[in-house]
Structure 1
Amino acid sequence: MKKYKTAKELLLSYLENINDPNRAIELFSLDAIVELPYLKSEDRPWNWRGIENIYSLLRNIPNAFKNIYFENVQIHIETPDRIFAEYAMSCTIAGTGNKYSQTFVARIVAEKGEILFFRESIDMLQSPKVHQ
């Protein structure tokens, strides 16, 4: 995978590669932090520090969600090393076969062409019960 220079390029590559954890993990720095605070409300782990922990998170995404597709990416704030964006996602919940759509917002901080910090939020009222 080529090295990206800006936070926007990293976000777009992350969205493009979310179904392939081996490619997605290449975008993160060794000491990266990922935060998904909406999971805290479900008493689930919500932050991961370090490449090994982030990789374990990314490996589990395709087990819970199939055929993830992102669209309608809107960049609200952008500098070369920071971005705040909104995007829509569609997929199938692996455990139920139900279709699922959600709108996300994310903040990314990049350093040296890698994701150093990634925080993503969703509307919890739209969130499915993945493990039924």
Structure 2
Amino acid sequence: MKNAVQLFQDYLDLIQTPRAAAALFAADGALEIPYLQSLNIPHRAEGPQQIEQFIVSLLTKVPDFKFRRIRFLIDTPDQAFAEYDVEALVPATGRIYRQSYAGRLVAKDGKIQLLRESMDTVAAMRAFAAEDSV
């Protein structure tokens, strides 16, 4: 059975394969990015199907989205915390999305129960907003 760090690493590595990444979550597992709420973007997906749809939506906007420079700071069997970065083109705006994430993962019975991520909403707004609103 995979521990929290193994599940976290698998999720980060599989982000370009939405179905495989989402399959790591428990049936009632959740992906939360609370700061997206301030941008009027859905900030919680629950269950593998919703999580897969969330990832597909993200990859539609940022096809080269990939996590890099992953640093695990907490590593226990059922919880992990990491920082990781993204640098990818947003085709709709022609800008580079540069983002540092911090994530806390809770594992239970070899599945992801919760992955809560924080991010810089200003960096997201700069990359995704129309030119005249930046």
TM-score for the superposition, normalised by structure 1: 0.88
Q: 1:48-88 CA distances to partner (integer Å, 9 max, x unpaired)?
A: 22222222112212101121232221111110110111111
CA distance in 2, matches of 1:21, 1:69: 12
Q: Higher strand share goes to which structure?
A: 1
CA distance in 2, matches of 1:41, 1:74: 27
CA distance in 1, matches of 2:63, 2:112: 24
Q: Write out aligned runs for 1:22-41 (5 A).
A: 22-41=19-38
CA distance in 2, matches of 1:22, 1:49: 14
* Equivalent position of 1:18 in the other structure: 15
CA distance in 2, matches of 1:131, 1:64: 12
Give the CA deviation at 1:129. Answer: 4.7
Identity, % of aligned positions: 32
* Equivalent position of 1:63 in the other structure: 60
Q: Does the CA contact (< 8 Å) of 1:7 and 1:108 recur in 2?
A: yes
CA distance in 1, matches of 2:54, 2:38: 18
Matched residue type, 2:128 = V
Give the CA deviation at 1:10. Answer: 1.1
Q: Does the CA contact (< 8 Å) of 1:17 and 1:23 recur in 2?
A: yes
CA distance in 1, matches of 2:96, 2:127: 12
Output the aligned Cα RMSD.
1.6
Q: 1:84-115 CA distances to partner (integer Å, 9 max, x unpaired)?
A: 11111111113223222110000000111111
Matched residue type, 2:80 = I
Matched residue type, 2:112 = I
Structure 2 unaligned segments of length 5 or more: list them. Answer: none
* Equivalent position of 1:130 in the other structure: 128
CA distance in 1, matches of 2:122, 2:3: 32
Q: Does the CA contact (< 8 Å) of 2:23 and 2:48 recur in 1?
A: no
What is the aligned residue count? Answer: 129
**SS of the residue 2:128 aligns to:** coil
Q: Write out aligned runs for 1:28-107 (5 A).
A: 28-107=25-104
Q: Higher helix share goes to which structure?
A: 2
